């Protein structure tokens, strides 16, 4: 199986959650599949939500929705990056509907700090050969049609260590990438020198016809695996599965 791997990182990131309160915009704990589709779309020049016209889905999703992706956090502590709430003013006219001139909207956003992931794309899951070749060419030659960012344009993304590889399924009791909870059964134990942990969050894996996120429980753990419904692969000494 052919795969394309790269590292994506940044000083900060904000992957906005739709479930917010009146004071603070929260972020998902990791980059998710929909954001990666958007980044790939930016790299190769696919249209987004603002250019959707009468199409059911934005172009980047329509063309990439079957692409399988593995996400491996690098440098996180038990599956978590540090988070901090940032407070700033937004004084543009459409951001604040209060009467009077010179009003400021006070924005509170939760940001991830010093983030880094290895992303592996299963090229065999993408049937459009022309699109696949364009994607490989742009990533391998550091070509971007639009600037990729980590959730918002306040958070530029750095893409590095791009490479092509052949990967094959392997038997493993461990997994280092994010995985869908329902696809794996854990036994609760880890290696003797490690305390077992389990990170879990609802992550977007697609969008429906109303453009709302389709979400499933995603996990990251150092526990051993009892059973799996999905194949596991060895990439750069990491055990991964595709979402």
| Each residue's pLDDT tens digit, 33-68 | 999 999 999 999 998 877 666 678 999 999 999 999
Q: What is the pLDDT of residue 21?
A: 62
Q: Tokens 């993408």 sit at which residue?
A: 126
DSSP β-bridge partners for residue 2:
166
Q: What is the pLDDT of residue 4?
A: 98
pTM across the whole model: 0.90
Q: Is 161 left (phi over 0), alpha (psi -120 to 50) or beta?
A: left
Of the ranges 100-109, 160-169, 194-203, 217-226, which one carries the lowest mean pLDDT score? 100-109
pLDDT more than 70, % of the chain: 91
pLDDT more than 90, % of the chain: 77
Give the Cα-Cα-Cα angle 76, 77, 79 (nearest 5 degrees).
Answer: 70
Q: What is the pLDDT of residue 94?
A: 46
Q: What number of other Cβ atoms are within 10 A of residue 62's Cβ?
A: 13
Nearest to 90 by CA among 157, 20, 152: 152
pLDDT in tens, 144-179: 999 999 999 999 999 999 999 999 999 999 999 999
198 by DSSP, 3-state: which?
strand
* Residue 100, Cβ density class (10 Å: 0-12 exposed, 13-18 middle, ≥19 buried): exposed
Q: How confident is the model at residue 90 (pLDDT cuts 50, 70, 90)?
A: low
Q: How confident is the model at residue 24 (pLDDT cuts 50, 70, 90)?
A: confident
How far is Cα 19 from Cα 234, in angstroms, rounded to an integer? 35
């Amino acid at each position: 199986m052919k795969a394309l791997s790269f590292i994506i990182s940044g000083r900060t990131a904000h992957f906005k959650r739709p479930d917010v309160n009146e004071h603070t915009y929260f972020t998902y704990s990791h980059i998710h599949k929909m954001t990666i589709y958007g980044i790939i779309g930016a790299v190769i020049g696919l249209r987004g939500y603002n250019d959707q016209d009468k199409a059911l889905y934005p172009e980047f999703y329509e063309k990439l929705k079957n692409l399988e992706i593995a996400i491996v956090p690098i440098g996180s502590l038990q599956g978590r990056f540090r988070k901090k709430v940032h407070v700033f003013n937004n004084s543009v006219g459409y951001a604040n509907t209060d009467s009077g001139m010179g009003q400021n909207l006070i924005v509170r956003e939760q940001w991830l700090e010093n983030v880094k992931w290895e992303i592996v794309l299963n090229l065999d899951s993408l049937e459009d050969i022309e699109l696949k070749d364009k994607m490989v060419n742009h990533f391998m030659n550091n070509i971007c049609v639009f600037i990729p960012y980590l959730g918002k344009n306040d958070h530029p993304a750095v893409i590095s260590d791009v490479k092509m590889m052949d990967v094959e399924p392997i038997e493993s009791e461990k997994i280092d990438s994010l995985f869908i909870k329902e696809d794996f059964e854990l036994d609760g134990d880890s290696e003797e020198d490690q305390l077992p942990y389990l990170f879990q969050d609802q992550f977007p894996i697609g969008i429906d016809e109303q453009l709302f996120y389709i979400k499933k429980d995603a996990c990251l753990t150092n526990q051993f695996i009892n059973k799996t419904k999905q194949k596991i692969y060895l990439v750069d000494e990491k055990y991964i599965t595709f979402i």
